[in-house]
């Protein structure tokens, strides 16, 4: 159920973004630096960090150099990179699923503050997606009036 609900949240994000141009994906129509492309880039980073780097301990680099700042995924959006960013997101989700598949839900996952189970990682990501999908809904409505995707 955890895997299925996370897949649902992932599909929701892509559904909210579908049909928009690259230029629309980088719009930040609210009073922040938040854009749909920024959310895609951020959640790509989150998938890699939690499942591949932390849970599976894969020896791979973070998606973005930490020296670029914590908001780089949100601020460095370029319409010319939109298609590649969506493809990278979809690929990272697949890699995340593959990394988590052989692990038990009680598998210990290191965090900045200690350790949590893989089960808690799933719950954490479901909550993170739910929050960001709410942001995505508001962004999409501000861009073209579309709601309920």
Confidence (pLDDT) at 130: 96
In a domain, 23, yes or no: yes
Confidence (pLDDT) at 31: 75
Strand 108-111 and strand 114-117: the pairing is antiparallel
In a domain, 149, yes or no: no
Confidence (pLDDT) at 32: 84
CATH code, domain with 47: 1.20.120.450
102's tokens: 């052989």
Q: Which residues are within 8 A (CB) of 69 and not within 5 positions of it... i.e. 6 or more apart?
A: 75
| Number of domains composing the chain | 1
Write out the E strands in the chain. Answer: 108-111, 114-117
Residue among 41, 48, 42, 46 nearest 99 (CA)? 48
Q: List the chain residues with pLDDT less than 70.
A: 149
pTM: 0.91
Structural domain boundaries, residue 129 = 2-144
Confidence (pLDDT) at 21: 96
Q: Which residues are within 8 A (CB) of 61 and not within 5 positions of it... i.e. 6 or more apart?
A: none
Confidence (pLDDT) at 141: 94
């Amino acid at each position: 159920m955890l895997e299925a609900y996370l897949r649902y949240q992932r599909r929701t994000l892509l559904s909210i973004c579908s049909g928009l141009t690259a230029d629309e994906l980088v719009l930040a129509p609210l009073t922040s630096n938040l854009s749909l492309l920024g959310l895609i880039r951020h959640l790509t980073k989150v998938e890699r960090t939690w499942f591949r780097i932390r849970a599976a301990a894969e020896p791979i680099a973070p998606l973005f150099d930490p020296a670029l700042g914590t908001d780089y995924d949100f601020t460095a959006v370029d319409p010319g990179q939109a298609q590649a960013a969506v493809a990278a997101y979809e690929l990272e989700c697949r890699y995340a699923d593959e990394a988590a598949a052989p692990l038990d839900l009680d598998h210990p996952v290191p965090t900045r503050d200690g350790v949590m189970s893989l089960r808690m990682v799933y719950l954490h990501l479901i909550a993170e997606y739910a929050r960001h999908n709410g942001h995505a809904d508001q962004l999409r409505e501000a861009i073209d009036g579309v709601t309920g995707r």
